[in-house]
Amino acid sequence: MSNAVQALGDGWVVAQRNLIKIKRVPDILVFVLISPIMFVLLFAYVFGGAIDVPGNVDYKEFLVPGIFAQTVVFGATFTGYGLADDMQKGLIDRFRSLPMARSAVLVGRTTSDVAYNVISLVIMALTGLLVGWRIREGVLDAALGFLLLLVFAYAISWIMAYVGLLVPSVEVVNNASFIVIMPLTFVSNAFVPQEQFSGVLQTFVEWNPVSTVALACRERFGNIDPSIAVPDSWAMQNPEVYTLLWVIAIVAVFAPLSARQYRLSTSK
């Protein structure tokens, strides 16, 4: 068996271990999903009235794809949390004494978190349908929208993996990622259309990958009025390509960084 195939196999074994954990400790999932569900309700029924969506689209339809983007970004914290938790336990020493691929712990974690994101998206989609969100384009378009969310989530997982390895405490990971994630998701078009931001903030929103993910999803799901012109920044004009460029850049930077940090923090 070639090394690469073996490394993937090892990663898959570790991923299976993490999946069993989701099954055994479902409360983690419940807790992580409560906040996006609260956001749906809060924005749909409390703040929603104060936010104008351009064109002939209901705010709830505009909101739900934004919440999807927010959910997968928040969900990535789970990767950092899981790794920080593992690093505190003796199991890592066991893994390191086995003739397995060094990358398996990281690859396994980010892979199993894709499954975790699929579960969150299903639950969030059901919540969305309940409050009035609808998919108005074809099945293929919708599938591509969800696929983009998952690919984006996978990339963010690698950032959080790095954070989780850098700060070896579950609590600190939570707080540290919050500092980054809050502005990233709120200063985007996830909740508020980009037209309502002003000046520098609007430029940030237009180039924020969270905005382009949300925009791409709205287009794929048909939750946007096609007669309303999209801002003419390149990112907003090509939201999918722009998002994928971010995905590639993030993985290219954070996968090696995480691998390096994993080596450093385990070989003391």
Partner 1 sequence: MTDMIRASGLVKRYKDVEALAGLDLSVPEGKVLALLGPNGAGKTTAVKCITTLIKPDAGSAEVAGVDVLADPAGVRAKIGLSGQYAAVDEHLTAYENLVMIGRLYHLGKARAQERARELLERSDLTEFADRPAKTYSGGQRRRLDLAGALVAEPPVLVLDEPTTGLDVRSRQQMWDVIKELVAGGATLLLTTQYLEEADRLADDILVIDHGREIAHGTADELKARTGGERIEVVLADLEDREAAVRVLAEVAVDTVRVSDNGRELTAAVSGSATGDLLRVLQGFERETVTVLDVGLRRPTLDDVFMALTGHAAEASDGESDDSEKEMAQ
CB of 85 to partner 1, least distance (A): 11
CB of 268 to partner 1, least distance (A): 7
**Can residue 265 be called a binding residue for partner 1 (CB under 8 A)?**
no
* φ/ψ (deg, to 5) at 254: -85, -25
**Can residue 179 be called a binding residue for partner 1 (CB under 8 A)?**
no
The residue (of 23 and 179) whose beta carbon lies closer to partner 1 is: 23
Q: Tell me the one-letter amino acid at 10.
A: D
Say which DSSP state 31 is in: H
**Can residue 10 be called a binding residue for partner 1 (CB under 8 A)?**
yes
| Number of Cα atoms under 13 Å in the Cβ half of residue 37 | 14
Q: Tell me the one-letter amino acid at 110.
A: T
Q: Which of 7, 8, 16, 207 binds partner 1 (CB under 8 A)?
A: 16
**Can residue 119 be called a binding residue for partner 1 (CB under 8 A)?**
no
Using the rule CB under 8 A, give the single segment among 10-18, 109-117, 201-209, 244-252 that binds partner 1.
Answer: 10-18
**Can residue 204 be called a binding residue for partner 1 (CB under 8 A)?**
no
**Can residue 21 be called a binding residue for partner 1 (CB under 8 A)?**
yes
The residue (of 9 and 49) whose beta carbon lies closer to partner 1 is: 9
Q: Which of 2, 27, 56, 94 binds partner 1 (CB under 8 A)?
A: 94
- Tokens found for residue 249: 């850049």
* φ/ψ (deg, to 5) at 56: -95, 65
Give the whole-angstrom CA distance, residue 171 versus residue 85: 10
- Tokens found for residue 118: 């699929």
* φ/ψ (deg, to 5) at 184: -65, -40
Q: How many residues interact with partner 1 (rule CB under 8 A)?
A: 27
- How much helix, strand and coil, in percent to the nearest 5, is found in the chain? 80, 0, 20
The residue (of 85 and 141) whose beta carbon lies closer to partner 1 is: 85
Q: Which of 25, 129, 130, 264 binds partner 1 (CB under 8 A)?
A: 25
Q: Which of 46, 50, 98, 200 binds partner 1 (CB under 8 A)?
A: 98
The residue (of 104 and 135) whose beta carbon lies closer to partner 1 is: 104
**Can residue 30 be called a binding residue for partner 1 (CB under 8 A)?**
no
| Number of Cα atoms under 13 Å in the Cβ half of residue 261 | 22
Cα–Cα distance list, 157 to 3, 5, 108, 181 (Å): 24, 22, 12, 12
Q: Which of 29, 54, 96, 237 binds partner 1 (CB under 8 A)?
A: 96
- Residue 78: CB atoms within 10 A of its CB come to 26
- Given the rule CB under 8 A, which residues bind partner 1? 1, 6, 9-10, 13-14, 16-17, 20-21, 24-25, 89-91, 93-100, 104, 266-268
